[in-house]
């Protein structure tokens, strides 16, 4: 009897434990709407969560300062993801980690205020169903454009305006690619903007600067095409509402040539927004979250691609393919395979820049050119990998080391300035500017908002905050301001970016060092953007444009030439593909 009683008691205790566990795993909220906020990449993001007693019914997110193509995607999509999963701990949007984390943190705080146990929500998440069986789909079209960055979108606009049937694929959940990272502007020569502003320039000088900047490794014919088609490309951008009237100087240029938005904002996001609006106007839908995996070849011709989407495997049959997949600056393993010396270096690249197009093109016999030529950008904030636009230096900023001294002409080519920084104590420097420069360059606001700047009312106070000798930094600034006044930089021979001195407080500094920025090498093309094979012949039906290609930039890309590259050769690739499929 005693044994039976002990067994019954044990059974009751076990049942109680099971019941308690089951009760603890239930979700309970205090019904209502709860709000919180977090610091996104561009500014504050607000999260409003509405719950019933047992469910999250709505998550509203606002973040007006977020870039539409990056943080804006997180703002638009993560609310639905949280409702679907019934937990705040959903997957971050690639390329928008800061904003995604801010949203997750704010949603967590709001749900905790509603009485939720986040561990229980995670345990009961609703989006862990068995893997969906993807169906096989076939699409037939005239042209496939792989990649919806700047080059791909430019090509798509041209193809649409030509009346061709096409599809455009993008493996990321948003458009823009590495173009979203472009901060400066677009190089172009003999433009109507230059003429209107009294700036003398020529196609020949543009080409010469590009060849010199690239250490003469560039393909001269591609460079000639880049320079000669640049003014026409600026005119075309005008026609789609993407005008670039603000002209300034960029490293390696002989004159003011880099064209930017009127307010000095980052050119990349500006163009992505304009291209996206134009594609929407033209009725073009981009197949997002769809990764091309293989080029289809028949009888020696490229006749389509295979791709994988969220819910299907695609065989896309076409008469021509345009590769606009970008470079491989975010593929650190691929970087190290070509340049072991760069292993561990931070990158400014968008997460989609992993070299997929290069690998696919190689698989069908494409030749590569300059593949080991990988550029460091000299002004990268190391904790965030945020690029500090070359326009800051082009508009008058200087670089100083930890001693408070200038150590180079700030507007030499990127490789030269990067090398000069790496030679300094600690292998870093500070970019120094004043309020006047900030007031005239909108791009700076992002750096201030994200807490990258150190600010002070006097140069001596700024020096103290940077642990620099105040007298040394004050003398450096005084010497620079005198050089601007006399237009004679006796120390380093700088002759450009000297239109205004640095004398308007407060003063600002950002600690920077080099970071991987651009892969100059890639698939070999000719001036018609046709891909060339290892035997030197055109691969019929295959075209390429933008950072997936090599030959345009040689051993070093000048600031402003990447945007020129994507617009000019994106347009050429589309024109060539349209002509090819129209035969």
HSE-CB for 204 with a 13 A CA cutoff: 0
Percentage of the chain exceeding pLDDT 70: 94
Report the SS3 class of residue 265: coil
HSE-CB for 123 with a 13 A CA cutoff: 11
Tens-digit pLDDT profile for residues 241-290: 999 999 998 889 999 999 999 998 889 999 999 999 999 999 999 999 99
Annotated active-site residue 571? The verdict is no
Sign, CA torsion 69/40/393/399: negative
The region that residue 347 occupies, defined by phi over 0 for left and psi between -120 and 50 for alpha, beta otherwise, is beta
Distance separating alpha carbons of residues 502 and 504, to the nearest angstrom: 6
The radius of gyration computed from the CA coordinates of the chain, to the nearest angstrom, equals: 27
Residue 25 confidence class, pLDDT cut points 50, 70, 90:
low
Residue 73 confidence class, pLDDT cut points 50, 70, 90:
confident
Determine which of 2-6, 61-65, 524-528 has the lowest per-residue pLDDT on average: 2-6
Sign, CA torsion 31/37/38/41: positive
- Domains in the chain, start-ordered, CATH in brackets? 32-123 (3.90.1010.20), 136-181+265-373+520-581 (3.50.50.60), 375-515 (3.90.700.10)
Mean pLDDT, rounded, for 67-73? 78
Mean pLDDT, rounded, for 164-187? 94
Mean pLDDT, rounded, for 372-397? 94
Distance separating alpha carbons of residues 442 and 314, to the nearest angstrom: 43
- Helix (H) and strand (E) counts in the chain: 19, 25
Q: Find out whether 389 and 261 touch, Cβ atoms under 8 Å.
A: no
Give yes or no for residue 136 having a pLDDT over 90.
Answer: yes
Catalytic residue among 257, 393, 414, 571: 414
Give how far the C-alpha of residue 23 lies from the chain's centroid of Cα atoms, to the nearest Å.
47
The residue to which tokens 């993001």 are assigned: 45
CB atoms within 10 A of CB 323: 35
The set of residues, in sequence order, having a beta carbon less than 8 Å from that of 142 and lying 6+ positions away, is 164, 165, 166, 318, 319, 320, 581
Tens-digit pLDDT profile for residues 40-58: 887 889 999 999 999 999 9
**What is the DSSP annotation of 73-90?**
HHHHHHHHHHHHHTSS-P
Mean pLDDT of all residues belonging to the chain:
92
Residue 124 has a pLDDT of: 87
pTM score, whole prediction:
0.81
The structure tokens listed for 434 are 């004043």
Give how far the C-alpha of residue 190 lies from the chain's centroid of Cα atoms, to the nearest Å.
28
Edge-to-edge strand order for the sheet containing 549-550?
368-369, 522-524, 549-550
Helix 71-85 vs helix 97-113: crossing angle, to nearest 10:
40
């Amino acid at each position: 009897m005693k044994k039976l009683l002990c067994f019954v008691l044990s059974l009751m205790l076990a049942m109680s434990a099971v019941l308690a566990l089951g009760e603890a795993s239930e979700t309970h909220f205090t019904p209502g709407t709860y709000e919180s906020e977090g610091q996104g990449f561009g500014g504050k993001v607000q999260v409003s969560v509405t719950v019933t007693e047992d469910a999250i019914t709505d998550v509203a997110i606002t973040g007006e300062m977020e870039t539409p193509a990056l943080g804006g995607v997180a703002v638009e999509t993560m609310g639905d993801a949280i409702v679907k999963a019934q937990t705040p701990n959903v997957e971050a949007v690639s390329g928008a980690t800061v904003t995604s984390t801010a949203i997750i943190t704010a949603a967590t705080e709001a749900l905790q205020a509603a009485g939720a146990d986040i561990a229980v929500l995670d345990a009961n998440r609703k989006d862990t169903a068995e893997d969906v069986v993807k169906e096989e789909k076939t699409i037939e079209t005239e042209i496939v454009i792989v990649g919806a960055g700047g080059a791909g979108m430019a090509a798509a606009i041209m193809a649409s305006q030509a009346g061709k049937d096409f599809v455009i694929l993008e493996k990321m959940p948003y458009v823009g690619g590495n173009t979203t990272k472009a901060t400066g502007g677009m190089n172009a020569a003999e433009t109507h903007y230059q003429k209107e502003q009294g700036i003398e320039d020529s196609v020949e000088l543009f080409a010469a600067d590009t060849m010199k900047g690239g250490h003469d490794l560039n393909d001269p014919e591609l460079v000639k095409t880049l320079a000669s088609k640049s003014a026409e490309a600026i005119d075309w951008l005008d026609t789609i509402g993407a005008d670039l009237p603000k002209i300034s100087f960029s490293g390696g240029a002989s004159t003011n040539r880099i064209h930017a938005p009127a307010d000095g904002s980052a050119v990349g996001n500006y163009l992505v927004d304009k291209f996206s609006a134009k594609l929407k106007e033209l009725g073009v839908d981009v197949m997002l979250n769809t990764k091309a995996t293989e080029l289809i070849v028949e009888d020696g011709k490229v006749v389509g691609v295979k791709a994988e989407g969220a819910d299907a495997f695609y065989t896309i049959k076409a008469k021509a393919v345009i590769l606009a997949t970008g470079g491989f600056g975010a593929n650190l393993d691929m970087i190290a395979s070509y340049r072991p010396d760069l292993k561990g270096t931070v990158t400014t690249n968008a997460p989609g820049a992993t070299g997929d197009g290069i690998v696919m093109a190689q698989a069908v016999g494409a030749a590569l050119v300059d593949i080991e030529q990988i550029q460091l950008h000299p002004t990268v904030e190391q904790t965030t990998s945020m690029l500090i636009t070359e326009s800051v230096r082009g508009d008058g900023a200087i670089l100083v080391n930890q001693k408070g001294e200038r150590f180079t002409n700030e507007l030499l080519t990127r490789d030269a300035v990067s090398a000069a920084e790496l030679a300094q104590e600690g292998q870093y420097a500070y970019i120094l500017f004043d309020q006047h420069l900030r007031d005239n360059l909108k791009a700076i606001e992002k750096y201030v908002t994200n807490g990258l700047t150190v600010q002070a009312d006097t140069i001596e106070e700024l020096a103290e905050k940077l642990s620099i000798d105040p007298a040394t930094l004050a003398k450096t600034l005084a010497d620079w301001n005198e050089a601007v006044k006399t237009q004679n930089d006796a120390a380093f021979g700088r002759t450009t970016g000297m239109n205004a001195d640095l004398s308007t407080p407060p003063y600002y500094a950002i600690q920077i060092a080099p970071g991987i920025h651009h892969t100059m090498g890639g698939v070999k093309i000719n001036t018609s953007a046709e891909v060339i094979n290892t035997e030197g012949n055109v691969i019929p039906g295959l075209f390429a444009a933008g950072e997936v290609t090599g030959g345009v930039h040689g051993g070093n890309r000048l600031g402003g030439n990447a945007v020129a590259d994507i617009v000019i050769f994106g347009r050429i690739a589309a024109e060539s593909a349209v002509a090819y499929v129209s035969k």
